[in-house]
Structure 1
Amino acid sequence: MAIVRWDPFRELETLQGRMGRLFEEALGRPTERDLGAQGWAPAVNIYEDENQIEVTAELPGLEEKDINVNIENNVLTIKGEKKIEREEKKGSYHLVETSYGSFSRSFTLPGTVDQEKIEANYQNGVLKIGLPKKEETKPKSISVKVGKK
């Protein structure tokens, strides 16, 4: 069983990051990337045991209404938006490492997942998605009997 992360824009994002660093070094000032204006991708862990696959995504600062989980054509997609909180301040930032904006993460699911029983729970900034396996795909132990013919 393999869950494959689907990211059609990976190379483009890598190029954009390199270009941003080039401008940052040349101009000696924070770029838009540093100010958190670019989209972001939450950290995701995927764990599997004999009964289920569990996807955990770190989404601090989001509200439940800002998170969307959906499955289409055997692809699990987690989308959301972390909105920037604008405060009126007289000074200026030297560094902003907090990311804001929309994100989308997609993962191809194996055929062993029972899509009718999937559950998602969001608590303390962590989204947990339980993907139970179909009964017929769970491992079964078969005992071997020794006997006479």
Structure 2
Amino acid sequence: MLYRTSLYPADPFALMRRLSQDLDSAFGAPRAFPALNVWQNEEAAAITAELPGVEPADIDIQVKDNVLTLSGERKLPDLPEGATWHRRERAFGRFTRAIRLPFRVDPEKVEARFADGVLRIAVGRPDEDKPRRIEIKAA
């Protein structure tokens, strides 16, 4: 049987992850918090985390070897006296996410910014680990 390669992404497990996500959505499984995006190039990796309702002072970022750990707390809002919850779909409390990066991290090259409920983290690669172009000399 022939498969059309345009239907299958370069990542052989992408289809399995998509199926797992679809099943989780269909059966109401909770999503990991915070939602993350991670990308990389030869110089660095970037992580964005959606953290609505979390104060920057309540966020902790740690890096060791090639693992970035993001933890913190989204505090329960104060309700006016006599008020009761009618619906509560947002989760509150402590959270932790650990992300294994594709390279060792230079702790001096980690930078974080927080605006509009989105945390952006740039993680630099040590200079000695960056790919180097090798010049070919004429014989």
Flag the 1:117–1:41 CA change in 2: closer, same or farther, 3 A: same
TM-score (ref. length: structure 2): 0.66
- Output the CA distance in 2 between the equivalents of 1:136 and 1:90: 58
User: 2:109: which partner in 1?
Assistant: 117
Residues 1:92 and 1:41: Cα distance change in structure 2 (over 3 Å): closer
Secondary structure of the 2:128 match is helix
Instruction: Extract unaligned runs of 5+ from structure 2.
Output: 1-26
Q: Which residue of 2 aligns with 1:100?
A: 92
Shift of 1:73: 5.4
Cα RMSD, aligned residues only: 2.7
Moved over 3 A (4+): 89-92, 109-112, 142-145
| Alignment partner of 1:51 out of 43, 52, 57 | 43
- Mapping of residues 53-92 of structure 1, within 5 Å: 53-72=45-64, 74-88=66-80, 89-90=82-83, 92=85
Higher relative contact order (CA 8 A, sep 6+): 1
Query: Helix, strand or coil for the counterpart of 2:95?
Result: strand
The structure with the larger Rg is 1
- The 2-side partners of 1:42 and 1:55 are apart by 11
Give the alignment partner of residue 34 of structure 2, picking from 7, 32, 42: 42
**Aligned-residue offset at 1:114:** 1.4
**How many angstroms apart in 2 are the aligned matches of 1:87 and 1:113?**
42
Aligned residues: 111
Q: Percent identity?
A: 38
Gaps of 5+ in 1: 1-17, 22-32, 34-39
Structure 1: which amino acid aligns with 2:132?
K
